[in-house]
Structure 1
Amino acid sequence: MPAQTSLSAPADGPTRATRALAVALLAALIALCLGWELWWAPTGRGTLAIKVLPLLPTLPGLLRLRMYTYRWLSLLVWLYAAEGLVRIGSETGLGARLAGAEVLLAVGLFAACVAHVRWRLKHATPAPAST
């Protein structure tokens, strides 16, 4: 039977730093998507602002250092990167610049999540054997 590892969140510097970076980038991505669709360069009636809804439940998980949340958020953000890349090519002016910012924030959030997960897995302690 393979040894299990404990993924309890250590309170070390890299864990806190990657969490802070991920939370800041997530908040910036949410703010960008809302501002873009509601005020700065809305598409239609601003109904595309609902695209932030999948991001909202991730915030508590990031703050609680839930490894599962970091993992699935690292996959989810690629939808936002893809949307930004499509809109860079289809929009002009402010819309294209906002799309570029969305891509940068999504890729940065991916990198922060991956760094957090890798650090935690690298420094996981073996769980005690059960009898």
Structure 2
Amino acid sequence: MMQKPSIQQLQLGASTSLIALILLCLAWEGVLAPFKPGGSLLIFKTLPLLLPLFGILHGKRYTYKWASMFILLYFTEGVVRAWSDVGLSAKLALFEVSLTVIFFGCAIYYAKFTRAK
């Protein structure tokens, strides 16, 4: 039987996946496979990811709750671009999907396990 993850493990998973997603978006749209050669304004899709960052890092339950829904926008973008893009961009999109799934799972379980009883 699988053991229940600790609150610290869930917070670490959410924090790490969110920071990795921020770095991925910056690298993807800035250097690795930008929409246009030389970079594009899609790099600004990273900015909304900064909104929940400090709440996630500080273990704010409310932030975990709303960020778990907010991250689904990035999941959707990743799925669409994995389906429609080719080459490195499609692989980066799959990595984006993976990071959003990790964040989502950690965030909803963190919110569940920190609920007042």
TM-score (norm 1): 0.80
Larger Rg: 1
Stretches of structure 1 lacking an aligned partner (at least 5 in a row)? 1-12, 126-131
Cα offset, 1:92, TM superposition: 0.5
Cα offset, 1:63, TM superposition: 1.8
Distance of 1:92 and 1:30 partners within structure 2: 22
User: What secondary structure does 1:65 align onto?
Assistant: coil
One of 59, 80, 87 as aligned partner of 1:86: 80
One of 71, 87, 91 as aligned partner of 2:65: 71
Amino acid of the residue matched to residue 120 of structure 1? T
1:53 aligns with 2:47: yes
User: What secondary structure does 1:53 align onto?
Assistant: helix
Distance of 2:67 and 2:102 partners within structure 1: 12
User: What secondary structure does 1:35 align onto?
Assistant: helix
Cα offset, 1:55, TM superposition: 0.9
Deviates more, 1:58-67 or 1:90-99: 58-67
- Structure 2 match to 1:114: 108
The runs of at least 4 aligned residues of structure 1 exceeding 2 Å deviation read none
Cα offset, 1:21, TM superposition: 0.8
One of 21, 25, 29 as aligned partner of 2:21: 29
Cα offset, 1:59, TM superposition: 1.3
Amino acid of the residue matched to residue 83 of structure 2? G
Amino acid of the residue matched to residue 90 of structure 1? S
Higher helix share: 2
Quote the RMSD (CA, aligned, Å). 1.2
- Structure 2 match to 1:104: 98
TM-score (norm 2): 0.90
Distance of 2:112 and 2:76 partners within structure 1: 24
- Return the structure number with greater relative CO, CA threshold 8 A, min gap 6: 1
Distance of 1:101 and 1:73 partners within structure 2: 19
Amino acid of the residue matched to residue 64 of structure 1? H
Q: Identity percentage over the alignment?
A: 40
